[in-house]
Structure 1
Amino acid sequence: MVNLAPEKLVIAISSRALFDLDAEHLVFEKQGLEAYASYQIEHEDKPLERGQAFTLAKKLLALNETLEAPLGVEIVLLSRNSADTGLRIFNSIEHYNLPITRAAFCGGESPWRYIQAFGCHLFLSSEPDDVRKALENNVAAATLVSKPVTESDDAVIRFAFDGDAVLFSDEAEKVYKAEGLEAFTKSEREQRNQPLTGGPFKSFLSALHLLQKSLPEESPLIRTALVTARSAPAHERVIRTLRAWDVRLDESIFLGGLPKVEFLKAYDADVFFDDQETHCHLAADHVATGHVPHGVANEP
């Protein structure tokens, strides 16, 4: 990956994830591209409503007030709009005073191919096909499936991650799917000293960890949590894996199969990433939720 700004955490967000474009998309689906373009131009001075990723983006960009250059966070806008219809999106960015300056307007084409060129560590979108393409090209990516989140006065950004098929590979989950819980537990106990292979979000977690270490210890503005269905004794391999990666998580919650949503609410997560659609849809009403279409749980 070519990273234009290796000191920065770079996150790509699609226009439909940053802003609520559902009504506009309906015009496109029912009336076609020409009607959509006319609608956007007619309304280009009317700011768009906040989307699923808006609050997260705003809180991430606020970190730049604490971090010293060249460290920082950059948000890149990726859009299927043309530059012409995308003017309303940039006007909305200006209206909300978001310091976003880089963008790619792709005129109907998928924007995922610019993710690596911008040096992005993470891609958030509402288009599952674009997310899958990004994952296939080794970029952490998730399809946002939640509602727009109410803005919070809390400056701390809380990330929550599932383990298998998100932070870690799906090697253990394959054993569970194929042979059941007893075989999974036996396998994990036998391999407790063998670190798991990294999953699609390993590189993003590492970049986030480096940014965490650069923030003042007395005011930790980023917190990370593992929220996994694993339980003892399958917890040990996870702990040893993170230790081998030299990555620290602030919290680790081993649920032993309990539903995750109440724990996500208690943690007050700003965003949650999981590979299983069932978990995502349960969390979607309460926290910004990204489905990671990766691993055995997402195979046809």
Structure 2
Amino acid sequence: MSQRPEKLVIAISSRALFNLQDSHRVFEEQGLEAFSAYQIERENDVLEKGDAFPLVEKFLQINGRLEGDPRVEVILLSRNSADTGLRVFNSVEHYGLNITRAAFCNGESPYRYIAPFGCHLFLSTDGRDVRHALEQGVAAATLIAGGARQRRDDTLRFAFDGDAVIFSDEAEQIFKRDGLAAFTAAERASAQKPLGGGPFKGFLEALQRLQAEFGADDCPIRTALVTARSAPAHERVIRTLRAWNIRIDESVFLGGLPKGEFLRAFGADVFFDDQPSHCASAAEHVATGHVPHGIANQDA
């Protein structure tokens, strides 16, 4: 009897899925009681789509492309109470999103439910929750509000930075401490030695297993590595992915050029990077998730 494939599970906060800026402002300025009254009074008003909505919509469409049990799932995690969260679920139903599992935590952080739900990725607008998820070993990112633009097709496009995201930050530590020349020399000397895994390695592996269930010509998922690295530091990256048996659809080695235009050309539905400055720039072009991991975030 063949074993059923593992389901790919993404957890998302309600503020990432929907635009809750107005109600969050009420919470910040007037407190929980006013926020609850605001939400209940408007629970039949449909929320506007948030920065992660296009990503979630495309992700859930994958289930319609495969026979048998659903292969992907989205879990809703929220600091709302179930009572005030009714507006969120009403909006989920309005948009036809097949989201059936959720945790409403009434002001507390929902990150503790990520592991029990078996989540591979957590997206939130709350940096504290994201850091807690990373500490649990789950790929996680803080979504940055910006110029999210959706490519108008059904292909879901994930773009990743390399160091401190897919890979460990061991090479980036040398760059930060000793500069570009030392980094380049170290990477050339270690070209045959695979890098350690970063927080998104497991998610990328799960994503590739899902891609493998489709033919090469009809896969609804594409991946891209978009990195500031250039030759000769590219070789270690390529050999590391080969050692992990991970295939990236597109690899872009920019040699320090800004990433935004390249991400827009790829049509990324979301881009993950550890550098706050890179994230701010990329967010002008595509939905961007900051991964608060590694040496670039030690003082953040």
The two structures have a TM-score, normalised by structure 1, of 0.96
Do the aligned partners of 1:229 and 1:256 also contact (CA within 8 Å) in 2? yes
- 2:40 corresponds in structure 1 to 41
Q: Deviations over 1:176-234 (max 9, x none)?
A: 00011111111111111100000000000000000011123221211000000000010
Provide the rounded CA distance (Å) in 2 between the counterparts of 1:283 and 1:112: 26
User: Which residue in 1 is equivalent to 2:58?
Assistant: 59
CA distance in 1, matches of 2:9, 2:195: 26
Aligned to 1:167: 166
SS at match of 1:160: strand
Percent identity between the aligned chains?
Answer: 66
Q: CA deviation at 1:268?
A: 1.0
Unmatched runs of 5 consecutive residues or more in structure 1: none
d(CA) in 2 for partners of 1:196, 1:123:
24
Q: In the superposition, relative to structure 1, how do residues 6 and 148 fare at CA in structure 2: closer, same or farther (>3 Å)?
A: farther
User: What letter is aligned with 1:271?
Assistant: V
User: Corresponding residue for 2:277?
Assistant: 278
Partners of 1:227 and 1:272 in 2: CA distance: 9
The one-letter amino acid of 2:179's match is G
Q: Distance in 1 between matches of 2:167 and 2:74?
A: 25
Cα distance 1:38–1:133, how it changes in 2: closer, same or farther (>3 A)?
A: same
User: Any residues of structure 2 matched to 1:70-81 within 5 Å, and which?
Assistant: 70=69, 72-81=71-80
1:11 maps to: 10
Residues 71, 193 of structure 1: alpha-carbon distance in 2 compared, 3 angstrom cutoff: farther
Question: How many angstroms does 1:78 deviate by?
Answer: 0.1
Structure 1 stretches of 4+ with a deviation exceeding 6 A read none
Distance 1:285 1:186 in 2: 33
Corresponding residue number in structure 2 for 1:103: 102
User: What is the CA–CA distance in structure 2 between the aligned matches of 1:67 and 1:168, rounded to whole Å?
Assistant: 31
Amino acid at match of 1:201: F
Letter of the 1:229 counterpart: A
Give the C-alpha shift of residue 69 in structure 1. 2.5
Aligned residues: 296
Residues 147, 283 of structure 2: 8 Å contact kept? no
Cα pair 2:167 2:195 within 8 Å, conserved:
yes
Query: What's the offset of the Cα at 1:32?
Result: 1.1
2:121 equivalent in structure 1: 122
Corresponding residue number in structure 1 for 2:22: 23
* Aligned-pair CA distance for 1:151: 4.9
Question: Counterpart of 2:278 in 1: which secondary structure?
Answer: helix
Q: Which runs of 5+ in 2 are unaligned?
A: none
Q: 1:120 to 1:148 in 2, by over 3 A?
A: farther
Distance 1:39 1:82 in 2: 13
Residues in 1 aligned to 2:244 and 2:67: alpha-carbon distance in whole angstroms: 26
